[in-house]
Protein backbone atom coordinates (compact mmCIF):
# COMPACT_ATOMS: atom_id res chain seq x y z
CA UNK A 1 0.00 0.00 0.00
CA UNK A 2 1.38 3.37 -1.08
CA UNK A 3 0.75 6.41 1.11
CA UNK A 4 1.76 10.03 0.54
CA UNK A 5 2.15 12.39 3.49
CA UNK A 6 2.12 16.17 3.40
CA UNK A 7 3.65 18.27 6.18
CA UNK A 8 3.24 22.06 6.41
CA UNK A 9 2.70 22.95 10.06
CA UNK A 10 5.61 25.33 10.63
CA UNK A 11 8.81 25.92 8.67
CA UNK A 12 9.07 22.86 6.42
CA UNK A 13 6.96 21.86 3.45
CA UNK A 14 7.46 18.13 3.21
CA UNK A 15 6.16 15.40 0.95
CA UNK A 16 6.92 11.81 1.90
CA UNK A 17 5.87 8.59 0.19
CA UNK A 18 5.95 5.17 1.84
CA UNK A 19 5.09 1.76 0.46
CA UNK A 20 4.11 -0.62 3.27
CA UNK A 21 6.41 1.36 5.53
CA UNK A 22 9.34 1.50 3.11
CA UNK A 23 10.36 5.08 2.34
CA UNK A 24 10.14 5.81 -1.41
CA UNK A 25 10.43 9.61 -1.28
CA UNK A 26 11.32 12.30 1.23
CA UNK A 27 11.19 15.80 -0.25
CA UNK A 28 11.61 18.78 2.08
CA UNK A 29 11.74 22.51 1.54
CA UNK A 30 12.64 24.47 4.60
CA UNK A 31 11.94 28.15 5.04
CA UNK A 32 14.85 29.94 6.64
CA UNK A 33 14.18 33.54 7.64
CA UNK A 34 16.97 35.95 6.70
CA UNK A 35 16.62 37.55 10.09
CA UNK A 36 14.16 37.44 12.97
CA UNK A 37 11.58 34.77 13.63
CA UNK A 38 9.08 32.99 11.44
CA UNK A 39 6.43 35.20 9.85
CA UNK A 40 3.59 32.79 9.06
CA UNK A 41 2.37 34.65 5.99
CA UNK A 42 5.82 34.78 4.46
CA UNK A 43 6.31 31.07 5.07
CA UNK A 44 2.89 30.32 3.59
CA UNK A 45 3.83 32.21 0.45
CA UNK A 46 7.04 30.23 0.23
CA UNK A 47 5.09 26.99 0.76
CA UNK A 48 2.71 27.80 -2.09
CA UNK A 49 5.68 28.42 -4.35
CA UNK A 50 7.22 24.99 -3.62
CA UNK A 51 4.10 22.84 -3.07
CA UNK A 52 3.44 21.74 -6.66
CA UNK A 53 7.05 20.97 -7.49
CA UNK A 54 7.51 19.10 -4.17
CA UNK A 55 4.64 16.73 -4.97
CA UNK A 56 5.96 16.17 -8.50
CA UNK A 57 9.49 15.61 -7.25
CA UNK A 58 8.29 13.11 -4.62
CA UNK A 59 6.34 11.12 -7.21
CA UNK A 60 9.31 11.16 -9.59
CA UNK A 61 11.75 10.03 -6.94
CA UNK A 62 9.35 7.24 -5.89
CA UNK A 63 9.01 6.31 -9.56
CA UNK A 64 5.20 6.27 -9.44
CA UNK A 65 2.24 8.20 -10.83
CA UNK A 66 -0.28 9.96 -8.61
CA UNK A 67 -2.92 7.32 -9.42
CA UNK A 68 -0.82 4.67 -7.72
CA UNK A 69 -1.14 6.47 -4.38
CA UNK A 70 -3.66 4.63 -2.16
CA UNK A 71 -4.08 7.30 0.53
CA UNK A 72 -2.93 10.84 1.32
CA UNK A 73 -2.04 11.83 4.86
CA UNK A 74 -2.28 15.49 5.76
CA UNK A 75 -1.01 17.17 8.92
CA UNK A 76 -4.02 19.26 9.96
CA UNK A 77 -2.42 20.54 13.19
CA UNK A 78 -1.11 21.59 15.60
CA UNK A 79 0.71 24.39 13.85
CA UNK A 80 0.41 27.83 12.31
CA UNK A 81 -2.76 28.62 10.36
CA UNK A 82 -1.41 30.16 7.15
CA UNK A 83 1.07 27.30 6.60
CA UNK A 84 -1.40 24.58 7.58
CA UNK A 85 -3.87 25.94 5.03
CA UNK A 86 -1.41 25.50 2.15
CA UNK A 87 -0.75 21.83 2.90
CA UNK A 88 -4.44 21.15 3.56
CA UNK A 89 -5.49 22.78 0.28
CA UNK A 90 -2.96 20.80 -1.72
CA UNK A 91 -4.00 17.52 -0.08
CA UNK A 92 -7.73 18.24 -0.49
CA UNK A 93 -7.32 19.08 -4.16
CA UNK A 94 -5.32 15.94 -4.94
CA UNK A 95 -7.74 13.80 -2.95
CA UNK A 96 -10.83 15.24 -4.61
CA UNK A 97 -9.38 15.30 -8.13
CA UNK A 98 -8.05 11.73 -8.16
CA UNK A 99 -10.48 10.18 -5.69
CA UNK A 100 -7.69 9.21 -3.28
CA UNK A 101 -8.78 8.77 0.37
CA UNK A 102 -7.63 11.54 2.69
CA UNK A 103 -6.29 10.76 6.18
CA UNK A 104 -6.09 13.42 8.92
CA UNK A 105 -2.79 13.30 10.82
CA UNK A 106 -1.85 15.04 14.06
CA UNK A 107 1.69 16.41 13.70
CA UNK A 108 2.67 15.58 17.31
CA UNK A 109 1.39 12.01 16.95
CA UNK A 110 3.43 11.71 13.75
CA UNK A 111 6.66 12.78 15.51
CA UNK A 112 6.06 10.01 18.04
CA UNK A 113 4.98 7.35 15.56
CA UNK A 114 7.95 7.74 13.24
CA UNK A 115 10.15 7.40 16.31
CA UNK A 116 8.38 4.28 17.46
CA UNK A 117 8.35 2.76 13.98
CA UNK A 118 12.00 3.38 13.18
CA UNK A 119 13.45 2.56 16.63
CA UNK A 120 11.11 -0.44 17.04
CA UNK A 121 10.30 0.62 20.59
CA UNK A 122 6.89 -0.83 21.34
CA UNK A 123 5.48 1.01 24.34
CA UNK A 124 7.83 3.83 25.37
CA UNK A 125 7.62 6.91 27.52
CA UNK A 126 8.15 9.69 24.99
CA UNK A 127 9.94 13.00 25.31
CA UNK A 128 8.86 15.11 22.35
CA UNK A 129 10.88 18.29 22.04
CA UNK A 130 10.81 20.62 19.05
CA UNK A 131 10.56 24.26 18.07
CA UNK A 132 6.93 24.46 19.17
CA UNK A 133 6.45 21.57 21.59
CA UNK A 134 7.84 20.16 24.81
CA UNK A 135 5.74 17.19 25.90
CA UNK A 136 6.30 14.16 28.09
CA UNK A 137 3.78 11.55 27.09
CA UNK A 138 3.01 7.87 26.96
CA UNK A 139 0.19 5.67 25.71
CA UNK A 140 -2.46 4.70 28.25
CA UNK A 141 -5.83 3.20 27.30
CA UNK A 142 -6.20 4.31 23.73
CA UNK A 143 -4.38 7.64 23.65
CA UNK A 144 -1.10 9.39 24.25
CA UNK A 145 -1.67 11.00 27.65
CA UNK A 146 0.23 14.14 28.48
CA UNK A 147 2.20 13.58 31.69
CA UNK A 148 3.97 16.90 31.52
CA UNK A 149 4.58 19.79 29.19
CA UNK A 150 5.94 23.29 29.06
CA UNK A 151 3.73 25.93 30.60
CA UNK A 152 5.11 28.56 28.24
CA UNK A 153 7.79 28.29 25.54
CA UNK A 154 9.11 25.08 23.96
CA UNK A 155 12.66 23.84 24.42
CA UNK A 156 13.69 24.44 20.79
CA UNK A 157 12.13 27.87 20.89
CA UNK A 158 14.08 28.68 24.07
CA UNK A 159 17.39 27.83 22.39
CA UNK A 160 16.52 29.59 19.13
CA UNK A 161 15.14 32.73 20.76
CA UNK A 162 18.12 33.11 23.07
CA UNK A 163 20.53 32.61 20.17
CA UNK A 164 18.70 35.19 18.10
CA UNK A 165 18.42 37.75 20.87
CA UNK A 166 22.13 37.64 21.74
CA UNK A 167 23.12 37.59 18.07
CA UNK A 168 24.70 34.12 17.66
CA UNK A 169 21.96 32.94 15.24
CA UNK A 170 20.33 32.40 12.82
CA UNK A 171 21.36 29.98 11.48
CA UNK A 172 20.65 28.03 14.66
CA UNK A 173 22.14 24.75 13.55
CA UNK A 174 25.76 24.37 12.41
CA UNK A 175 26.92 20.91 11.30
CA UNK A 176 24.07 19.31 13.24
CA UNK A 177 24.81 21.19 16.46
CA UNK A 178 22.80 24.03 17.92
CA UNK A 179 24.69 27.34 18.12
CA UNK A 180 23.93 27.40 21.85
CA UNK A 181 25.90 24.12 22.13
CA UNK A 182 28.76 25.49 20.10
CA UNK A 183 28.86 28.59 22.29
CA UNK A 184 28.58 26.49 25.48
CA UNK A 185 31.68 24.45 24.68
CA UNK A 186 34.10 26.07 27.09
CA UNK A 187 31.34 27.35 29.37
CA UNK A 188 31.01 26.93 33.12
CA UNK A 189 27.94 26.60 35.30
CA UNK A 190 26.54 29.82 36.74
CA UNK A 191 24.52 29.47 39.94
CA UNK A 192 21.18 31.18 40.36
CA UNK A 193 19.35 30.53 37.07
CA UNK A 194 15.65 29.71 37.64
CA UNK A 195 15.00 25.95 37.46
CA UNK A 196 11.23 25.67 37.27
CA UNK A 197 9.34 22.38 37.51
CA UNK A 198 5.76 22.77 38.70
CA UNK A 199 4.16 19.45 39.42
CA UNK A 200 4.75 17.56 36.19
CA UNK A 201 5.23 20.66 34.02
CA UNK A 202 8.24 22.78 33.19
CA UNK A 203 8.42 26.51 32.66
CA UNK A 204 11.21 27.92 30.50
CA UNK A 205 10.35 31.57 29.89
CA UNK A 206 11.80 32.78 33.21
CA UNK A 207 15.01 31.02 32.29
CA UNK A 208 15.10 32.83 28.95
CA UNK A 209 14.59 36.20 30.64
CA UNK A 210 17.28 35.46 33.22
CA UNK A 211 19.76 34.37 30.54
CA UNK A 212 19.07 37.49 28.50
CA UNK A 213 19.56 39.69 31.55
CA UNK A 214 22.89 38.04 32.28
CA UNK A 215 23.93 38.63 28.67
CA UNK A 216 22.89 42.26 28.80
CA UNK A 217 24.95 42.71 31.95
CA UNK A 218 28.05 41.40 30.25
CA UNK A 219 28.34 37.90 31.73
CA UNK A 220 30.46 35.50 29.69
CA UNK A 221 28.23 34.22 26.88
CA UNK A 222 29.66 30.69 26.88
CA UNK A 223 28.82 30.36 30.59
CA UNK A 224 25.27 31.58 29.98
CA UNK A 225 24.79 29.13 27.07
CA UNK A 226 26.16 26.28 29.15
CA UNK A 227 23.90 27.05 32.09
CA UNK A 228 20.80 27.70 29.97
CA UNK A 229 21.25 24.32 28.35
CA UNK A 230 22.04 22.51 31.58
CA UNK A 231 19.04 23.90 33.47
CA UNK A 232 16.50 23.46 30.68
CA UNK A 233 17.61 19.93 29.73
CA UNK A 234 17.70 18.84 33.36
CA UNK A 235 14.17 20.07 34.01
CA UNK A 236 12.69 18.11 31.08
CA UNK A 237 14.78 15.07 32.03
CA UNK A 238 13.45 15.25 35.60
CA UNK A 239 9.83 15.19 34.46
CA UNK A 240 10.60 12.40 31.99
CA UNK A 241 12.14 10.31 34.73
CA UNK A 242 9.11 10.82 36.92
CA UNK A 243 6.83 9.66 34.11
CA UNK A 244 8.93 6.50 33.79
CA UNK A 245 8.70 5.92 37.55
CA UNK A 246 4.92 6.46 37.60
CA UNK A 247 4.11 4.26 34.64
CA UNK A 248 6.82 1.66 35.18
CA UNK A 249 7.46 1.52 31.44
CA UNK A 250 10.68 -0.05 30.22
CA UNK A 251 11.46 2.08 27.18
CA UNK A 252 12.21 5.74 26.49
CA UNK A 253 11.92 7.45 23.11
CA UNK A 254 13.26 10.91 22.28
CA UNK A 255 11.68 12.62 19.28
CA UNK A 256 11.18 16.03 17.62
CA UNK A 257 13.76 18.48 16.27
CA UNK A 258 15.71 18.81 19.52
CA UNK A 259 16.20 15.01 19.52
CA UNK A 260 19.25 15.77 17.35
CA UNK A 261 20.97 17.25 20.40
CA UNK A 262 23.99 15.25 21.60
CA UNK A 263 23.99 16.61 25.15
CA UNK A 264 20.31 15.86 25.68
CA UNK A 265 20.89 12.36 24.30
CA UNK A 266 23.71 11.82 26.75
CA UNK A 267 21.55 12.88 29.70
CA UNK A 268 18.74 10.52 28.72
CA UNK A 269 21.20 7.70 28.08
CA UNK A 270 22.58 8.03 31.60
CA UNK A 271 19.11 8.30 33.13
CA UNK A 272 17.94 5.20 31.24
CA UNK A 273 20.94 3.06 32.02
CA UNK A 274 20.59 3.90 35.72
CA UNK A 275 16.98 2.73 35.54
CA UNK A 276 17.79 -0.26 33.39
CA UNK A 277 15.44 0.75 30.57
CA UNK A 278 15.89 0.79 26.81
CA UNK A 279 16.60 4.29 25.46
CA UNK A 280 16.48 5.18 21.76
CA UNK A 281 16.32 8.53 20.00
CA UNK A 282 14.62 9.01 16.65
CA UNK A 283 17.35 8.86 13.96
CA UNK A 284 18.82 12.25 13.12
CA UNK A 285 17.27 12.48 9.64
CA UNK A 286 13.75 12.09 11.06
CA UNK A 287 14.17 14.37 14.08
CA UNK A 288 12.93 17.52 12.33
CA UNK A 289 9.65 18.02 10.49
CA UNK A 290 9.23 15.85 7.41
CA UNK A 291 6.57 14.35 5.16
CA UNK A 292 7.61 10.74 5.79
CA UNK A 293 6.33 10.84 9.38
CA UNK A 294 2.95 12.02 8.13
CA UNK A 295 2.85 9.28 5.49
CA UNK A 296 3.84 6.56 7.97
CA UNK A 297 1.24 7.63 10.51
CA UNK A 298 -1.42 7.92 7.82
CA UNK A 299 -0.57 4.40 6.67
CA UNK A 300 -1.36 3.04 10.14
CA UNK A 301 -4.47 5.19 10.47
CA UNK A 302 -5.71 4.06 7.07
CA UNK A 303 -5.27 0.42 8.07
CA UNK A 304 -7.48 1.22 11.08
CA UNK A 305 -10.13 2.70 8.79
CA UNK A 306 -9.51 6.37 9.60
CA UNK A 307 -10.24 8.78 6.73
CA UNK A 308 -11.82 12.20 6.36
CA UNK A 309 -13.87 13.74 3.55
CA UNK A 310 -11.95 16.53 1.77
CA UNK A 311 -14.73 19.01 2.58
CA UNK A 312 -14.40 18.18 6.29
CA UNK A 313 -10.61 18.39 6.44
CA UNK A 314 -10.31 21.61 8.41
CA UNK A 315 -7.04 22.67 9.91
CA UNK A 316 -6.83 22.69 13.71
CA UNK A 317 -4.11 25.00 14.98
CA UNK A 318 -4.38 23.78 18.57
CA UNK A 319 -5.13 20.13 17.95
CA UNK A 320 -3.90 18.46 21.12
CA UNK A 321 -2.02 15.20 21.18
CA UNK A 322 -4.32 13.66 23.80
CA UNK A 323 -7.45 14.25 21.70
CA UNK A 324 -6.36 11.62 19.18
CA UNK A 325 -7.48 7.99 19.46
CA UNK A 326 -4.62 5.62 18.55
CA UNK A 327 -6.36 2.36 17.57
CA UNK A 328 -3.28 1.21 15.62
CA UNK A 329 -0.98 1.39 18.67
CA UNK A 330 -0.35 -2.32 19.07
CA UNK A 331 -0.50 -2.96 15.32
CA UNK A 332 2.60 -0.79 14.94
CA UNK A 333 4.12 -2.36 18.04
CA UNK A 334 4.16 -5.68 16.22
CA UNK A 335 6.67 -4.18 13.84
CA UNK A 336 4.44 -4.76 10.79
Instruction: Quote the least distance from Cβ 260 to ligand AMP, whole Å.
Output: 4
Cis peptide bond prior to 126, omega within 30° of 0: no
Closer Cβ to Mg ion, 65 or 283, answer by number: 283
Measured from the CB atom, the residue of 95 and 235 that comes closer to ligand AMP is 235
Is residue 260 involved in binding ligand AMP (CB under 6 A)?
yes
| 271 CB-near residues (< 8 Å, 6+ apart) | 237, 240, 241, 252, 279
For ligand AMP, which stretch binds (CB under 6 A), given 61-69, 76-84, 117-125, 174-182? 174-182
Smaller CB separation from Mg ion, 172 or 193 = 172
Q: Which is nearer to ligand AMP, 31 or 328 (CB)?
A: 31
202 binds, among Mg ion, ligand AMP, none (CB under 5 to 8 A by kind): none
Q: What are phi and psi of 33, to 5 degrees?
A: -65, 140
Q: Which is nearer to ligand AMP, 71 or 109 (CB)?
A: 109
In whole angstroms, how close is the CB of 111 to Mg ion at the nearest point?
6
Which lies closer to ligand AMP via its Cβ, residue 179 or residue 243? 179
Per-position b or e across 235-253, b if 16+ CB within 10 A of its CB: bbbbbbbbbbeeeebbbbb
Q: What angle do CA 302, 306, 311 make, to 5 degrees?
A: 115
- The 237-256 site mask, x for binding ligand AMP (CB under 6 A), equals -------------------x
- Residue pair 197/151 in contact (Cβ under 8 Å)? The answer is no
Supply the minimum distance, in Å, between the C-beta of residue 257 and Mg ion.
Answer: 6
Length of the chain: 336
Using rule CB under 6 A, residue 204 touches ligand AMP: no
Per CB under 5 A, which region of 143-151, 243-251, 287-295, 318-326 contacts Mg ion? Answer: 287-295
Q: Give residues 105-134 in contact with ligand AMP (rule: CB under 6 A).
A: 130-132
Q: Does 95 bind Mg ion (CB under 5 A)?
A: no
Residue 110 contacts by C-beta under 8 Å, 6 or more apart in sequence?
5, 7, 75, 293, 294, 296, 297
Q: How far apart are CA 176 and CA 152, in angstroms?
A: 26
Strand ranges (E), the chain: 2-7, 12-19, 22-30, 71-77, 102-106, 125-129, 134-140, 143-149, 173-174, 177-178, 196-198, 201-203, 251-255, 278-281
Candidate list 54, 119, 130, 150; residue touching Mg ion; CB under 5 A: 130
Query: What, of ligand AMP, Mg ion, none, does residue 291 touch, CB below 5 to 8 Å by kind?
Result: none
Q: Does 258 contact ligand AMP by CB under 6 A? A: yes
Stretch that binds Mg ion, among 11-19, 39-47, 127-135, 167-175 (CB under 5 A): 127-135
Sign of CA dihedral 76, 50, 66, 294: negative
Binding site for Mg ion (CB under 5 A): 130, 289
Amino acid sequence: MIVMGIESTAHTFGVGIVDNGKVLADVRSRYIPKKGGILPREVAEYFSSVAGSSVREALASAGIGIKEVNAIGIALGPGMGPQLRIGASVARVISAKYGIPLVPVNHAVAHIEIGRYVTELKDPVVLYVSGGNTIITTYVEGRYRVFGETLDIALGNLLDTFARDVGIGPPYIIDGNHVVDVCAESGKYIKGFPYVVKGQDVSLSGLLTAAENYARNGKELSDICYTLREVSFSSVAEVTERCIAHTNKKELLLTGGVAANKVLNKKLEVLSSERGIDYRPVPFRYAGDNGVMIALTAWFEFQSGITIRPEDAYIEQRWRLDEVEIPWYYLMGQGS
